[in-house]
Structure 1
Amino acid sequence: MVSLLAPPSDRRFSPRTVQVVALTGVACSSFTIPVLSAALATIAADLDSSVSVITWVIAGPLLAFAVFTPMAGKLGDLYGHRRMYLIGFAGAAVFSLLTSFATSAFILIAVRVIAQSFAASTGPSALAIMMSVFPEDRRTRVAGTWSAVLAAAPAIGVAVGGPLIEATSWRMLFVIQGSGMAIAVALAWFVLPATDRREDHTFDVVGSFLLAIGVGSLLVAINRGVPLGWYHPWVIVGLITSPVFVLGFLRYEQRIEHPLVELDALRERNVFLPIVSQIFLNGPYMAGLVITSLLLADVFDLGTAAISLMILPRPITFSLGASFAGWLVERLGGRPLVVFGTSGIAIGLLMIGFGAAQDELWMVGVGVGIQGAGSGVARPPIIAALTEAIGDRDVGVGTGMLNMTGQLGAAAGISILSALVDDGSSADRFLAVLAIAAAIEIVAVAMVGAIRFRGPVTTRTTPASPTAPYSAVVDLDRGRD
C-alpha cells in the first residue's frame, strides 16, 4: 500500500499543474449537491420513500463531512497530505459509483455518508498540498482561484445536472461523479507531490472519538429538532450528550502529549475568531438559500427548474468575488474586504425579503447575487489569517476545525430559521425571518472585523473554507413528506 501511495518518480510538475489536478478532484466531490437537492422529490418517489427521509441524502453526508474533516486534516498533518488525498478520493470514487445502484433509501443514505466520510480528507489535504508548491507572494491569488472553482462546480451541476436527470435518471449523477473522481485519483497519483510527515507525533484516537460524538450528536439534534420536535427523546439525548462529550474532549486534550487540537492555539485571536465566526457567517448564509428556495415556491409559485435558475447567480457571483479577492486583498488589506463581504451577505438577505414583500422578483435575484459575491470576497482573507496564525504543520486540522464550525452554523441556521416559515407563508413572514438572519450575520461582521490583518494580506493566504462547496446547497427538508 505504501508503494502505491508514493509518488511515481522524482519528477516535479509546475505549481499550476498541481493546482489544476487538486481542484479537479475537489470539484468532482461537490458538483452534484444543488441539483441533488432539487431532485429530492424525484428520488423519494423512485425509492418509494418520503422527502423528509430522502433529505438525509444531503444532511447525512454534510454531518459526516463536518465530523470527520478535523480528524482527516490531522491525519494529513501527521502522515502526509498526498496519502490522505489519494485514500480519500479513491474511497469516495468507489462509494459514489455504488450509490448509483442503491435500491432503497437506507442504502442510498448509508453509501452517501460513507462516500462523504472518505471525501472529508480531500479538502484539508488539497489545501496543504497547494500551499506547499506556491510561493508565499502567490498564495493570495491562489485563494481566489480555489474559491472560484468550488463555487463554479455546483453552478455547473445546476446547469448540466437538471437536464441530465430529466433525460436519464438521478442515478447518472453518481455515475458521472464516481467516474470523475476515479480520473482525479489517477491524475493525483501521477502529479501531486508528497508533503512532510510528522514522525514525532501520534494520532489522538480517543480525542477524535470524543469530538466526533460531541459534535455529531449536536448536529443530529439540530437537524432533527424541527421535523421531530425539540422535545423528542432522541433530540433531547443529542442535546445532552453533546456538551458532555465536548467537555470530556477538552479535558482530555489538556492532559495528553500529542492532542488532536492544540487548545493553547485557540487563545490566539486569529485562530479563535476565524473558527468561531463561521457559525454566525455560515448559519444565515446557508439558511438564506433554503429560505429563498421556499420563498420562490410559496410567494412566486415557481417550480424546481425555475428555482434552480434563480439561485444560480449565487455560486456564479461567489466565484467572481473569490476570483477578485486576492487582487483586492493585496491592495486594500484583509479587514475592509471581510467587513464588506459579510455585510454584503446581510444586505442580500434583506433585499430578498423586501423583494418578496414588494412582489419584485428581480430584487430577489439581485439579493441572491449579492450574497454570493459577499461570501466569495470574505472567505480567503479569513482563512489567510487562520493559516498564518496556526502554521503550516497544523493547517490540516485547523482548516478542518473551521469547516466543522461552518457546518455547525449551517445546520443550526437551516434547521432553526427555516422552521420559522411554513407551507404557504406570507411574504411578510419571509421578510421577518430574513431580517433575523441578517441580524445574526451582523455578529459575524463584528467578529471578522476584529481579526488582526497586517495591512494588505500577501503572505500565506490559503483558499476559501472547505464549506465553500456547500455554498449552493438547497435543503428542502421542512419535516414534510
Structure 2
Amino acid sequence: MDGPHRSPCNEGQVQAAPPPTQALSASRKRWILVATVLGSSLTFIDGSALGVALPAIQRDLGAGPAAVQWVSNAYLLTLGALVLTGGAAGDRFGRRKIFLIGVVVFALASLACGLAPTVELLIGGRALQGIGAALLTPGALAVIGATFPPEERGKAFGTWAGAGALFGMVGPLIGGWLADQADWRFIFWINLPLAALTIAVTLKAVPESRDDDARGLDWIGALLAVAGLAALTWALTAAPDLGWTSPAIIAGMAGGVVMLVGFLISQARQSHPMMPLTLFRSAVFSGVNLLTLLLYFALGGAMFFLPFDLIRVQGFSATMAGAAMLPFAVVMGLFSGVAGRLADLFGARLSLSLGPILSGIGLALLAWPGPGAGYVDGPLAGMTMLAIGMTLAVGPLTATVMGAVQPSHTGVASGVNNAVARVAGLLAVALLGVILSAVFVSQADSSDARALLGQVMAGGDLDSAATDAFHTAFRVVILTCAACAVLAGVIGALTAPGKFQTAE
C-alpha cells in the first residue's frame, strides 16, 4: 500500500537557492501554498484510499494475488526510481512547469485507472501515476522552497505536511466507503476536478523558478533503476506461480541484479548522478537509510496485507477497515510536532531507536487477534502503538538524514531517503507476498493452493479452513514486519547521533 505510511515530512527533495521573494505579497504566497497542497493531495488521497479498496478491485477485475500486488508495485516502482530525476528536472527546466506536467500526467493516469476494464490496464495506469507523482511531489516542495524566504519556510512546510496528514486521514474512509457503497473507480475519478483546480491556481499564482546552475539529468541511472527494480520485483512476484527454478524467474532475478549493479556503477562514474554514492561515506547517512529501508519495508508490507485480513478474516466492511487506519493518521497529524521537540530535547538516537521498536510492538499486536475479532479487541491497540512509534521516528529521521551531509547536499540527501522509503515498500509487497504464499500453501488442504489463495483474497465463499490458513500466513507476514521494525530500532541506536553529537 502506498498510503498511511507515506509521511509528508519525508517526500521529495528541495534544492537550489530560491529567487528573490520580496515582491510576492502575503496573499500571493498563500495561494502558492494552496496550489502545492492541492497538487500533493492527489497522491495523499489516492494512496491512502486505494489500500482498503484493493480487495474490491481484486474481486471485480478477477485478479490473482500476483496481479493485485502489481496494482501497488507499479506505482511504487516508477515513483521510487524516478523521484530524484523529477526533482532535478524541476531545478533545470522550471519548477512550476515540472509540477504542472506532473499534475497533468497524474490526472490522465487516474482517468485511465478509473476506466481500466482489466487489471493489466489498471497496472499500466498505476505505473503512469507513479511517473506523475515523481514529478509533482518534489516539484511541490521545490516551489515552496523557492517562494518562501528561510524565516517563513518552516511554517510553510509545516502547513503542507499538516494538510498531507489530513488528506491521509480521510483517504481510507473515502476508499472504504466507495468500495462498499459506490464504485472503487471513483477513487481515481475524484482526482480529475482536484487536478483541474490545481492547474488553475498554479497558472494564476505560482511564478516560474529554476536553478541556473543545474546540469544534465541522469537518464542512464533512471532507466537502469527502473529496469532493474522492475525485473527483480516481477521475478519475486511471479515465482510462487512459475516456480523458483523456472528459466524466466532465474533470468528475471539475474537481469535485475545485473542492472542494479550497473546502476551503482553508473552513479560512481556520472559527473551529476541522481544518487551520489559519496553521501554514503557518512556512517550516520548510511545507517539512517538502512533504518529507513527496514522500517518502511515493515510498514509498507503491513499496510498492504492488513486490509485483506480485516475484510476477509475479521469480517470488516471496507469502510470499517478504512476506519481502522484512523489512529495512525490522527496520532501522526496531532503529535508530529511534539515528537520533533522531544528529539530536539533528547537527541535523535532516542527517537530513532525507541520509535521503530514501538512500531514493531504495534505490528506484533496486529497479529494477535483471532478470526472474528472486533475493532477494539482487534486492530485498535496495534494501530495506536504503531502510530506512536512512527510519529516518534519520522521527523527526526528526516532531520538526521539532512544533517548527515553538507548543507549544499541536503536536497539530494532528502530525495535519496525518500526514494529508499518508496523502494522499501515495493520490495515489501513482493517479498512478503512470497512468504504469504508459501505459508498459505503449506497450511491449505488443496491441490491448487495458489488459486485458493486468490479466492480468499478476492472474497470468495470459502470454508473456515481456507480462511484460517490465510490468517496463519498473515500472522507470519506481520511478525516478519515487526522483526524488521525492531531491527531498524537497533540500527538507530547504533548509528543515530545522540543529544550532544552532530550528525556528520
Where on the TM-score scale, by shorter chain, does this alignment land: which range? 0.7 to 0.9
Partner deviation per Cα, 1:289-334 (whole Å, 9 max, x = no partner): 2443344346534343332322332233232333433343444443
Residues 106-185 of structure 1 correspond to what in structure 2 (within 5 A)? 106-133=120-147, 145-185=159-199
User: SS where residue 188 of structure 1 aligns?
Assistant: helix
The answer to whether 1:322 aligns with 2:336 is: yes
Q: Distance in 1 between matches of 2:308 and 2:182?
A: 26
Q: Distance in 2 between matches of 1:43 and 1:278?
A: 30
1:31 alignment partner AA: I
Match of 1:248 in 2: 262
Q: 2:478 aligns with which of 434, 446, 450?
A: 434
Deviation at 1:384, TM superposition (A): 1.6
Structure 1 range deviating more: 127-136 or 174-183: 127-136
Residues 389-408 of structure 1 correspond to what in structure 2 (within 5 A)? 389-390=404-405, 394-395=409-410, 397-408=412-423
Deviation at 1:181, TM superposition (A): 1.8
Match of 2:224 in 1: 210
The answer to whether 1:76 aligns with 2:90 is: yes
Q: Distance in 2 between matches of 1:376 and 1:191?
A: 33
The answer to whether 1:283 aligns with 2:328 is: no
Aligned pair in 2 of structure 1 residues 255, 174: CA closer, same or farther (>3 Å)?
closer
User: SS where residue 116 of structure 2 aligns?
Assistant: coil
- Report the TM-score when normalising by structure 2: 0.77
Deviation at 1:204, TM superposition (A): 2.2
Instruction: Say whether the 8 Å CA contact 2:176–2:320 is kept in structure 1.
Output: no
User: SS where residue 202 of structure 1 aligns?
Assistant: coil
The answer to whether 1:424 aligns with 2:467 is: yes
The answer to whether 1:309 aligns with 2:305 is: no
Match of 2:453 in 1: none
Deviation at 1:438, TM superposition (A): 1.9
Residues 42-121 of structure 1 correspond to what in structure 2 (within 5 A)? 42-44=56-58, 46-47=60-61, 52-121=66-135
User: SS where residue 222 of structure 2 aligns?
Assistant: helix
Q: 2:252 aligns with which of 238, 249, 269?
A: 238
User: SS where residue 125 of structure 2 aligns?
Assistant: helix
2:167 alignment partner AA: A
Deviation at 1:268, TM superposition (A): 1.8
Q: Distance in 2 between matches of 1:430 and 1:41?
A: 15
Q: Distance in 2 between matches of 1:409 and 1:339?
A: 19
The answer to whether 1:340 aligns with 2:354 is: yes
Instruction: Say whether the 8 Å CA contact 2:169–2:330 is kept in structure 1.
Output: yes
Deviation at 1:88, TM superposition (A): 0.9
Match of 1:451 in 2: 496
Structure 1: gaps (5+ residues)? 1-5, 460-481
Q: Distance in 1 between matches of 2:286 and 2:390?
A: 19
Aligned pair in 2 of structure 1 residues 351, 146: CA closer, same or farther (>3 Å)?
farther
Instruction: Say whether the 8 Å CA contact 2:31–2:201 is kept in structure 1.
Output: no
- Report the TM-score when normalising by structure 1: 0.81
Aligned pair in 2 of structure 1 residues 11, 344: CA closer, same or farther (>3 Å)?
same
The answer to whether 1:260 aligns with 2:274 is: yes
Aligned pair in 2 of structure 1 residues 324, 207: CA closer, same or farther (>3 Å)?
same
Deviation at 1:40, TM superposition (A): 3.6
Aligned pair in 2 of structure 1 residues 138, 356: CA closer, same or farther (>3 Å)?
farther
Deviation at 1:111, TM superposition (A): 2.5
Q: Distance in 2 between matches of 1:227 and 1:139?
A: 50
Instruction: Say whether the 8 Å CA contact 2:356–2:485 is kept in structure 1.
Output: yes
Q: Distance in 2 between matches of 1:80 and 1:117?
A: 17
Aligned pair in 2 of structure 1 residues 366, 192: CA closer, same or farther (>3 Å)?
farther
User: SS where residue 199 of structure 1 aligns?
Assistant: coil
Aligned pair in 2 of structure 1 residues 167, 306: CA closer, same or farther (>3 Å)?
closer
Deviation at 1:197, TM superposition (A): 1.0
Instruction: Say whether the 8 Å CA contact 2:313–2:372 is kept in structure 1.
Output: no
Partner deviation per Cα, 1:134-160 (whole Å, 9 max, x = no partner): 565766666655444334323312223
Q: Distance in 1 between matches of 2:347 and 2:105?
A: 40
1:258 alignment partner AA: H
Instruction: Say whether the 8 Å CA contact 1:334–1:456 is kept in structure 2.
Output: no
Q: Distance in 1 between matches of 2:56 and 2:77?
A: 23
Q: Size of the alignment, in residue pairs?
A: 453
Q: Distance in 2 between matches of 1:196 and 1:218?
A: 36
Q: 1:368 aligns with which of 364, 378, 383?
A: 383
User: SS where residue 379 of structure 1 aligns?
Assistant: helix
Deviation at 1:367, TM superposition (A): 0.8
Match of 2:40 in 1: 26
Over the residues paired in the alignment, what is the CA RMSD in angstroms? 3.6
Q: Distance in 2 between matches of 1:298 and 1:47?
A: 17
Instruction: Say whether the 8 Å CA contact 1:329–1:456 is kept in structure 2.
Output: no
Deviation at 1:169, TM superposition (A): 2.7
The answer to whether 1:411 aligns with 2:454 is: no
Aligned pair in 2 of structure 1 residues 149, 372: CA closer, same or farther (>3 Å)?
farther
Instruction: Say whether the 8 Å CA contact 1:13–1:191 is kept in structure 2.
Output: no
User: SS where residue 367 of structure 2 aligns?
Assistant: helix
Deviation at 1:87, TM superposition (A): 1.6
Match of 1:462 in 2: none
Instruction: Say whether the 8 Å CA contact 2:110–2:125 is kept in structure 1.
Output: yes
Q: Distance in 2 between matches of 1:279 and 1:207?
A: 20
Deviation at 1:37, TM superposition (A): 3.3
Q: Provide the identity percentage.
A: 24
Partner deviation per Cα, 1:238-293 (whole Å, 9 max, x = no partner): 32122212222222333332223222122123432333322101111122224433
Instruction: Say whether the 8 Å CA contact 2:110–2:188 is kept in structure 1.
Output: yes
Q: Distance in 1 between matches of 2:417 and 2:197?
A: 29
Q: Distance in 1 between matches of 2:179 and 2:320?
A: 15
1:212 alignment partner AA: V
Q: Distance in 1 between matches of 2:59 and 2:490?
A: 45
User: SS where residue 82 of structure 2 aligns?
Assistant: helix
Match of 2:402 in 1: 387
Q: Distance in 2 between matches of 1:239 and 1:431?
A: 27
Instruction: Say whether the 8 Å CA contact 1:274–1:448 is kept in structure 2.
Output: yes
Structure with the larger RCO, 1 or 2 (CA within 8 Å, 6+ apart): 1
Aligned pair in 2 of structure 1 residues 440, 111: CA closer, same or farther (>3 Å)?
closer
Q: 1:272 aligns with which of 270, 275, 286?
A: 286
Partner deviation per Cα, 1:181-203 (whole Å, 9 max, x = no partner): 22112223333454441435222
1:121 alignment partner AA: L
Q: Distance in 2 between matches of 1:47 and 1:359?
A: 29
User: SS where residue 467 of structure 2 aligns?
Assistant: coil
Partner deviation per Cα, 1:77-121 (whole Å, 9 max, x = no partner): 433433321221122123323433333333332223213212212
Aligned pair in 2 of structure 1 residues 170, 359: CA closer, same or farther (>3 Å)?
closer
2:421 alignment partner AA: G
